[in-house]
Amino acid sequence: MSTVALILAAGGSRRLGRPKQLEPWGETNLLGHVIRKAATFGVDEVWVVLGHDWERILSETDLGGAVVVENPEWEEGIASSLRVGLDALTRLSRCERALILIGDQPEPSATVVKTLLESHLRSGRPVSIPKYRYALGNPVVVERSLWPRLMSLEGDEGAMRLWRAHPEWVNEVWFGDPAPRDVDTEADIAELRPRHGPPAGSIV
């Protein structure tokens, strides 16, 4: 029952004004941090979709063995990354399902992923989505049988419209925690970036 983690990280970071993938994050950068997190989730493979400034991101990120797919149509939005990533997986991977992660969400919960995957396997449905209190969020688990439908999406809406149109496909898994936050602005970086040790001059 093999699973691939597919990290969507092709965006142009318009709100931040520089590649958020390269923001220093702990011992690595933001994308490297997400890749490391994904590798701890018990998945069989880790794949990453890059687009804007992909060559620089590739050269400055420790990929940890992740497979990289280039999305030349990244400006279209997240649907283009789903198309490119899932097309590559269809051709080159034998995994049966994809755990789709967002590259600018630095703290996907290991507990959420474990519970989501366990519920997914019990449900018999092709899609499992976490519901954080009252809102659906990420990451999402999608069986290989639905990858062609995801590859038909366009624009920047992602797959939510498709899930709403076909609730019979969807296994919702409720969590009491807040949804993982995106890194979009300087304020997000200041709030979410990990801190190591006490500030200089502090008394512990």
Residue 202 domain-assigned (yes or no): no
Residue 142 domain-assigned (yes or no): yes
Residue 199 domain-assigned (yes or no): no
Residue 94 domain-assigned (yes or no): yes
Give the C-alpha separation, 180 to 109, whole Å: 8
185: DSSP letter? S
- Phi and psi angles of residue 2, each rounded to the nearest 5 degrees, phi first: -85, 145
> What's the token pair of residue 72?
């030349």
For the chain, give the mean pLDDT.
92
CB 69 within 8 Å of CB 49: yes
Residue 144 domain-assigned (yes or no): yes
Residue 62 domain-assigned (yes or no): yes
Instruction: Quote the number of domains for the chain.
Output: 1
Residue 201 domain-assigned (yes or no): no
- What pLDDT tens digit does each residue of the chain (204 aa) get? 699 999 999 999 888 989 999 999 999 999 999 999 999 999 999 999 999 999 999 999 999 999 999 999 999 999 999 999 999 999 999 999 999 999 999 999 999 999 999 999 999 999 999 999 989 999 999 999 999 999 998 877 678 889 999 999 999 999 999 999 999 999 999 999 997 643 433 333
Domain span at 159: 3-192
- Residue 153: give its domain's CATH number: 3.90.550.10
- Minimal CA–CA distance to 46: which of 15, 105, 2, 77? 2
Residue 114 domain-assigned (yes or no): yes
